[in-house]
Amino acid sequence: DAGVTQSPTHLIKTRGQQVTLRCSPKSGHDTVSWYQQALGQGPQFIFQYYEEEERQRGNFPDRFSGHQFPNYSSELNVNALLLGDSALYLCASSGLGINTEAFFGQGTRLTVV
């Protein structure tokens, strides 16, 4: 079992550009959540996808959007990048049922210059 895989591992973008990050959940998991972890901070919840729909959202602007595919994989898109979007973006997957353990990927380190 490959666990949760994220791509790419590192990314450098210029202010104003758009970026897409990808996540493949752990086998058997159907729910994907995305978190932003700024340097020296704890992860902050961005949004969660289940059955290809956004189930809930944290306090992030509409520049942050996502998608879930029929195979449960997910994308995080960020438009009009700001310097403050530089962070480690973590994907977590979980399975059916309430409070099954969330497994995290290694993250994508995004640097905006």
Partner 1 sequence: AQSVTQLDSQVPVFEEAPVELRCNYSSSVSVYLFWYVQYPNQGLQLLLKYLSGSTLVKGINGFEAEFNKSQTSFHLRKPSVHISDTAEYFCAVSVPNRDDKIIFGKGTRLHILP
**Where along the sequence are the contacts to partner 1 (CB under 8 A)?**
4, 31, 33, 35, 40-45, 48, 55-56, 58, 90, 92, 94, 98-102, 104-107
Phi, psi of 31 (to 5 degrees): -120, 130
Minimum Å gap between C-beta 24 and partner 1 is 13
Query: CB–CB of 94/28 below 8 Å?
Result: no
Q: Which is nearer to partner 1, 3 or 79 (CB)?
A: 3
CB 113 within 8 A of CB 14: yes
- Contacts of 52 by beta carbon, 8 Å cutoff, 6+ apart: 67, 68, 69, 70
- Please state the closest distance from residue 41 (CB atom) to partner 1, in A: 6
Tokens in use for 39? 């340097």
In whole angstroms, how close is the CB of 88 to partner 1 at the nearest point?
Answer: 9
Of 7 and 18, CB closest to partner 1:
7
- The minimum distance between CB 44 and partner 1, in angstroms, equals 7
